[in-house]
Amino acid sequence: MEKLENMQDAYGETLAEIGEDTRIVVLDADLSHSNRTNIFARKFPRRFFEAGIAEADMIGVSAGLSMAGLIPFAHTFAVFATGRVYDQIRVSVCYQNLNVKIVGTSAGLSDAHDGATHQSVEDVALMRALPNMVVVVPCDSIETRKATHAIHEHVGPAYLRLNRMPVPLIWKSEDECKFEIGKALTVREGSDVAMVASGHPVGLAIKAAEEVAKEGISVEVLDLHTIKPIDRESIIKIAGKTGAIVTVEEHSVIGGLGSAVSEVVGEGIPVPIERIGIQDKFGESALEYGELLEAHGITVENIIAATKRALERKKSNEMLCEV
Partner 1 sequence: MHSQLVVNSLDEKALIIRKGILEIMAGGKRGHLGGSMSIADIIAALYFHQMKHDPKNPDWEDRDRFILSKGHSVLAQYVALAELGYFPKEELKNVKKLGCILQGHPDRIKVPGIEASTGSLGQGLSIACGVALGARIMGKDFRVYVIVGDGESNEGMIWEAAIFAAHYKLDNLTTITDQNRLMASGGTIVGSLVPKWRAFGWEVIEVNGHNMGEILDALDKAVNVKGRPTMIICDTVKGRGISFAENVSGFHHCSLTPEQHEAALKDIQSKEKD
Residues lying near partner 1 in the complex (CB under 8 A) are found at: 25, 46-47, 49, 51-52, 54, 56-57, 59-70, 72, 87-88, 90-92, 95-97
CB of 131 to partner 1, least distance (A): 12
- Kindly tell me which of 43 and 308 has the beta carbon lying closer to partner 1: 43
Q: State how far the Cα of 71 lies from the Cα of 25, in Å rounded to an integer.
A: 6
Q: State how far the Cα of 256 lies from the Cα of 99, in Å rounded to an integer.
A: 23
Contact 186, 151 (CB under 8 A): no
- Kindly tell me which of 96 and 279 has the beta carbon lying closer to partner 1: 96
* Half-sphere CA count of 75, side-chain side, radius 13 A: 26
Q: State how far the Cα of 13 lies from the Cα of 32, in Å rounded to an integer.
A: 13
Phi-psi region of 161 (alpha: psi -120 to 50; beta: other; left: phi over 0): beta
- Kindly tell me which of 91 and 116 has the beta carbon lying closer to partner 1: 91
Catalytic residue among 17, 50, 55, 322: 55
- Kindly tell me which of 52 and 266 has the beta carbon lying closer to partner 1: 52
Q: State how far the Cα of 8 lies from the Cα of 163, in Å rounded to an integer.
A: 7
55 is a catalytic site residue: yes
- Kindly tell me which of 103 and 206 has the beta carbon lying closer to partner 1: 103
Closest CA to 231 of 135, 313, 297, 147: 135
Phi first, then psi: give them for residue 65, nearest 5 degrees. Answer: -60, -40
Contact 289, 165 (CB under 8 A): yes
Active site residues: 55
